Chain A
Amino acid sequence: MTRKDLLDIESLRREEIEHLLDQAAPFKELFTRSVKKVPALKGKSVLTLFYEPSTRTLSSFEVAAKRLSADVTTFDVAQSSVAKGETVRDTIATLQAMRTDYIIVRNQMAGIPLAIARATKASVINAGDGAHSHPTQALLDGFTFKEVFPEPAGKKLLIIGDILHSRVARSTSTLMRKLGVEVAWLGPGSLVPKHGPSEIKRFTNYEEAMKWSPDAIYLLRIQMERQSAPFFPSLREYTKLYGITQERFKRIADQGTYIMHPGPVNRGVELCDEVMEYQRCLIDQQVENGIAARMAVLYWLKPNTGENVRPIEEEPN
């Protein structure tokens, strides 16, 4: 069971998702060793191609690739030929000529990772494309959720924020539903899409959503950079209506609801300072799990290198 590329969650079968989530655990175990590195991808090259600014996802991928002993090159798009006017198609031709084994790509346009995947023999991992997909974020969220709820089917996850512009909301919702998790969205009417799967509940009122009694709340970052038109009047109003304020946090803590967030957090907007100290706040765990989940993805994918490959034997003995 393997694939060349990881481009979205929608095309993954449930068994593939469960396989990847199971495989993340043995990678996480490695982090407790004195040597955190394993030689699985020794001699392989990984190239990161980020057309959008990112610190967390980029470094998470870099750490994951390095812990698998791969050589990582950062194709610094902002400083590179792209800034000099090179098209994506020409960049792809350059990358193909570099004979890299894995390409990790983030782009503001949906579909760019797919275009690159079709044009190269390398394994392509989508690290976020427009509002389309962010599959490794969904996998690390699913892994974190399963650590807390080993039997996730029937558990309830409430996602709060700008659902419309969020590839995280989209991918994580899809993955969670494939695991049998009940998913609901809460946000301003203008930011909660009416289209999409009807099994996902839509709320526009915080109190109403809390009556649904979610087991975990997933807060999205309000992304000012992704909105071209104003979808809500002000951040203060957003916080008042949907933010985890001190008052709302007390109730969440009483009920023992878990909190998740893809980072980076806007303190005082989506959540108050107290949430960050909360015992059931899973944000740091998500960061650690991100490395393990991405290692599992890199280990799972097989580039189309054209080398002689043979079916797996259980052990070489």
Chain B
Amino acid sequence: MRLWQLTVLFNWPLRLINKDEMPSTLTEADISNGVKAIAEQIGQCQPDGDFVLVGVRSRGDEVAARILELLSQKGIEVPMGLLDISLYRDDLAHLNSNPKLQGSELPFPVDKAHIILVDDVLFTGRTVRAAIDAIMDYGRPAKIELAVLIDRGHRELPFAPSYVGIHLETQRLDYVDVKLKDTDGVDLVEVTKKNEV
């Protein structure tokens, strides 16, 4: 049995719980296990370390930094970059004020690189679309994969993650609020239920 299959098993309790009883929070331990699961999967599939991590700002960068740390403990040393996708969002014309830019830092050639994009939550897939477009403007990577801490479903674009930490069952209008230590001072995921209008 492959390790990633184990992690699917690892998440089985979440899948068996009735929707109404779904836990509305994930703790520090859950988050930590989620990050470990991603690092395991990546380590298993890419043992030669011939790839780079790119964290999507904000919070995807923090998840990527934690994965980087765990991979390093396994002896896999890879470079890491940061990506700000704000300028590539498809909803800028519909916002009453544009998001504050944090800037991107990709300290390696993107041409021919195998990039593993890292984000905290995968929801509609629109951030991934923006991130891929942003990366393509830096060069032509050999391959882009996607690692997410939480996959909460409800895709609006045809994307599937390559590495997943936690599968979280949600309603489309639920709000998933991720807090991570470096950004928010605490590791906590809270799901706020919202009824369809």
Q: Assuming A310-B94, A316-B127, A317-B122, is B137 touching A35 (CB within 8 A)? A: yes
List, in ascending order, chain B residues with CB within 8 A of A194's CB: none
Question: Is A307 in contact with chain B by the CB < 8 A criterion?
Answer: yes
Most buried by B among A19, A29, A317: A317
A1-B97, A316-B124, A317-B123 known; A40 vs B102 contact (CB < 8 Å): no
Interface size on A, residues (CB 8 A): 32
CB pair A316 B137 closer than 8 Å: no
Contact, CB under 8 Å: B121 / A317: yes
Q: Do A317 and B124 have beta carbons less than 8 Å apart?
A: yes
CA distance A308 to B90 in the complex (A): 15
* Chain B proximity of A250: nearest CB distance (Å): 39
Q: How far is the CA of A29 from the CA of B123 in the complex (A)?
A: 29
Contacts of B123 in A (CB 8 A): 316-317
- Among the stretches B32-40, B62-70, B81-89, the one at the interface with A is B81-89
**Chain B interface, DSSP helix/strand/loop, else mixed:** loop
For residue A87, which residues in chain B have a CB less than 8 angstroms away from its CB? none
* Nearest B residue to A41, CB-CB: B92
**Chain B contact residue count (CB 8 A cutoff):** 37
User: Which A residues between 259 and 317 are near B, CB-CB below 8 angstroms?
Assistant: 299-300, 302, 307-312, 314-317
1/0 contact string of B100-142 vs chain A (CB within 8 Å)? 1111100000000000000101111011001001001111000
Q: How far is the CB of B48 from chain A (nearest CB, A)?
A: 28
B96 within 8 A of A: yes
* B134 nearest CB neighbor, chain A only: A38
| Inter-subunit contact A314/B138 (CB<8 Å) | no
Within the complex, which residue of B103, B121, B136 is in contact with A26, where a contact is CB–CB below 8 Å?
B103
Contact digits for B141-166, partner A, Cβ 8 Å, 1 yes 0 no: 00000000000100000000000000
Q: Is the CB–CB distance between B98 and A317 below 8 Å?
A: no
- Report whether over half of chain A's contact residues are helix, strand or loop; otherwise say mixed: loop
**Cβ of A306 to closest chain B Cβ, rounded Å:** 12
Question: Separation in Å of the A300 CB from the closest CB of chain B?
Answer: 7
The contact of B97 among A2, A23, A39, A44, by CB within 8 Å, is A2
Cβ 8 A contact of B126, one of A23, A43, A317: A317
Residue of B nearest to A308 (CB): B94
Judge whether A146 is part of the interface by a CB distance below 8 angstroms.
no
- Interchain nearest-CB distance for B124 vs A (Å): 6
Q: In whole Å, how far is A101's beta carbon from the nearest beta carbon of chain B?
A: 9
Decide if B122 touches A307 in the complex (CB within 8 Å).
no
Q: Is A34 in contact with chain B by the CB < 8 A criterion? A: yes
Within the complex, the shortest CB–CB distance from A18 to chain B, in Å, comes to 12
19 residue pairs of the A-B complex, CB under 8 angstroms, read A1-B97, A2-B98, A23-B100, A26-B84, A27-B101, A34-B138, A35-B136, A35-B138, A38-B87, A39-B133, A40-B87, A40-B92, A43-B93, A68-B87, A302-B96, A311-B97, A312-B95, A316-B89, A317-B123
Given contacts A2-B98, A38-B88, A40-B86, 11 further A-B contacts (CB under 8 A): A27-B101, A34-B137, A35-B138, A40-B88, A299-B87, A309-B94, A315-B58, A316-B89, A316-B90, A317-B122, A317-B176
Please give me the 4 A-B residue pairs with the lowest Cβ-Cβ distance, nearest first: A317-B123, A26-B103, A35-B137, A2-B97
